[in-house]
């Protein structure tokens, strides 16, 4: 995979896939992006960017507190 990489914890994920790459590489990049959303890695990366913080235990604890507080304010269905 080509393109700039972002470090989130110990994980390195390519942010973009070269358009000339194979369909397998594009499908893999899509799968990785979906998994990052499902497991909140993308939300944590956005949190770090928004707060201009480096990844650390304290940053992750702040992310967890903010995420739980926001989850409690969401309207519930059914």
User: pLDDT tens across 29-45, in order?
Assistant: 888 888 888 877 888 99
Answer yes or no: is 59 within a domain: yes
- Tally of domains within the chain: 1
Question: pLDDT tens digit string along 4-29?
Answer: 445 444 344 455 556 566 888 888 88
Count of CA atoms in the C-beta half-sphere (13 A) of 48: 19
Q: Is residue 32 part of a domain?
A: yes
Asked if residue 18 is part of any domain, the answer here is yes
d(CA 35, CA 70): 21
Taking a C-beta distance cutoff of 8 angstroms, is the pair 11, 20 a contact? Answer: no
Predicted confidence band of residue 48 (pLDDT cuts 50, 70, 90): very high
């Amino acid at each position: 995979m080509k393109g700039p990489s972002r470090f989130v914890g110990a994980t390195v994920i390519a942010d973009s896939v070269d358009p000339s790459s194979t369909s397998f590489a594009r499908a893999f990049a899509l799968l990785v992006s979906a998994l990052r959303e499902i497991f909140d890695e993308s939300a944590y990366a956005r949190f770090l960017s928004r707060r201009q913080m480096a990844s650390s235990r304290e940053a992750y604890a702040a992310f967890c507190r903010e995420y739980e507080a926001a989850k409690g304010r969401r309207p519930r269905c059914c």
